[in-house]
Amino acid sequence: MCIPEFFIIRQPERMFKAMTAIETKNLTKTYRTRVKAEGLAASFRSLFKPVWREVGAVNGISLTVEQGEMVAFIGPNGAGKSTFIKMLCGILYPTGGSLSVLGLSPVKERRKLAMRIGTVFGQKSQLWLHLPAVDSFTLLGAIYEIDDRERRRRVAELSELFELGDFLHTPVRKLSLGQRIRCEVAASLLHDPELLFLDEPTIGLDVVVKQALRELIIRRNRERGTTVFLTSHDPADIEQLCKRAVVIDRGDVVLDSPVERLKSDYLGKKLVEVKFASPQTVPEMAGVTVLTKEGGLTAALTVDTARRPIGEVLERLSLTGSVLDITVSNPPMEDIIAAIFQKKPEADQ
């Protein structure tokens, strides 16, 4: 596929001048929540005598991201990822600390900043459900002050890049999830943002669409120098897209490391689930841990790919002669984070 002109023209200052895209110092956000005991009586008491509690969602995060970087920002649910990103975008006001995004203050210069950032929140759509995506692009053109001729050109180019041609004029409600997400990402790129916040962009997508989307994001970063700040629960997103991973938990950064290191330390394990036609015992292999009982119709294994290549394990399993089905997957993000916590004291030493 030839690369459209819109994506080849590069802005020299963006490509070659290393600038800080995101800088936060001791950024904090606390929420005041009402504490209420269980039951109706407590509800009445709380009505007249409420008890308040301060909850720290982000507790003094200091982080620097250079322009052109692709950073994975990961953590378990409730870790403070969304709150942190929302402060960076100007949606939420920080309680303390300082922050600068593309040299602007999200608190004081929200509109200027919004002109230069793009966002894809997997849970929130910026497209009109009952209208074709092309109509939403028209509105976004007005909002981002793109003249009609330029908008039409960009839509045509994004349509070619994301292969939207077949469904650009179909009401969004009639699109598959994958098609809708492609439209969402295209919408977020319409104004050619310098910094892209992607919050679970591949959630719910099938493997093929996920891969296509990752390739598009990589291409965008390579060709336009777009900085990408990604949160995802899919380890493959992090492995394939990012060079750096920042892990947070309970509002604090617990790990800031190159993804290569994260990969060798935590992402090198694969889960293999296998179904046999007749009860089998999984052969013993170094680097392979069998998680289920021996002699069953199914088995689950974890494979340390640094010690034993996954292909070799699959080959050995197939030699049993009665394999019906095999699934290979990454360990869930929660397990990876748990592993990070288990290993952290040792890494700190």
Minimum distance between the CB of residue 211 and other proteins, rounded to whole angstroms? Answer: 24
The residue within the footprint of other proteins, chosen from 6, 73, 121, 162 (CB under 8 A), is 121
The residue within the footprint of other proteins, chosen from 105, 126, 322, 330 (CB under 8 A), is 126
Residue 134 within binding range of other proteins, rule CB under 8 A: no
Give the closest residue to 198 by CA, choosing from 243, 238, 138, 162.
238
Minimum distance between the CB of residue 241 and other proteins, rounded to whole angstroms? Answer: 21
Task: Please state, as a whole number, how many other Cβ atoms lie within 10 Å of the Cβ of residue 3.
Answer: 12
Spatial separation of the C-alpha atoms in residues 73 and 134, rounded to whole Å: 31
Q: Tell me which amino acid residue 335 is.
A: D
Listed ranges 88-96, 226-234, 270-278, 329-337: which one lies at the site for other proteins (CB under 8 A)? 88-96
C-alpha distance from residue 204 to each of 179, 208, 209, 241 (Å): 12, 12, 10, 18
Residue 297 within binding range of other proteins, rule CB under 8 A: no
Does residue 294 contact residue 281 with C-beta atoms inside 8 Å?
Answer: yes
Minimum distance between the CB of residue 232 and other proteins, rounded to whole angstroms? Answer: 15
The residue within the footprint of other proteins, chosen from 4, 25, 66, 135 (CB under 8 A), is 135
Listed ranges 9-17, 141-149, 225-233, 258-266: which one lies at the site for other proteins (CB under 8 A)? 141-149
Listed ranges 115-123, 154-162, 225-233, 246-254: which one lies at the site for other proteins (CB under 8 A)? 115-123
Minimum distance between the CB of residue 13 and other proteins, rounded to whole angstroms? Answer: 20
Spatial separation of the C-alpha atoms in residues 197 and 72, rounded to whole Å: 10
Does residue 101 contact residue 86 with C-beta atoms inside 8 Å?
Answer: no
Write each residue from 143 to 172 as x if it is in contact with other proteins (CB under 8 A), else as -, in one continuous string.
xxx-------------------------x-
Map the footprint of other proteins across residues 3-62, applying CB under 8 A.
31
Minimum distance between the CB of residue 136 and other proteins, rounded to whole angstroms? Answer: 8
Give the closest residue to 275 by CA, choosing from 302, 295, 299, 310.
299
C-alpha distance from residue 325 to each of 308, 310, 318 (Å): 21, 15, 10
Spatial separation of the C-alpha atoms in residues 297 and 303, rounded to whole Å: 19
Residue nearer to other proteins on the CB measure, 124 or 149: 124
Spatial separation of the C-alpha atoms in residues 274 and 327, rounded to whole Å: 6
Coil, strand or helix at 142: helix
Give the closest residue to 51 by CA, choosing from 40, 36, 31, 38.
36
Residue nearer to other proteins on the CB measure, 89 or 155: 89
Angle 293-294-296 from CA coordinates, rounded to 5°:
85
The residue within the footprint of other proteins, chosen from 115, 134, 218, 271 (CB under 8 A), is 115
The residue within the footprint of other proteins, chosen from 4, 20, 131, 275 (CB under 8 A), is 131
Residue 344 within binding range of other proteins, rule CB under 8 A: no
Is the backbone of residue 116 left (phi > 0), alpha (psi -120 to 50) or beta? Answer: alpha
The residue within the footprint of other proteins, chosen from 114, 181, 205, 213 (CB under 8 A), is 114
Spatial separation of the C-alpha atoms in residues 124 and 276, rounded to whole Å: 42
Find residue 101's DSSP bridge partners. Answer: 22, 104
The residue within the footprint of other proteins, chosen from 28, 100, 119, 280 (CB under 8 A), is 119
Residue nearer to other proteins on the CB measure, 86 or 224: 86
Residue nearer to other proteins on the CB measure, 27 or 274: 27
**Site residues (vs other proteins, CB under 8 A):** 31, 82-83, 86, 89-93, 110-115, 117, 119, 121, 123-131, 135-136, 138-139, 142-145, 171
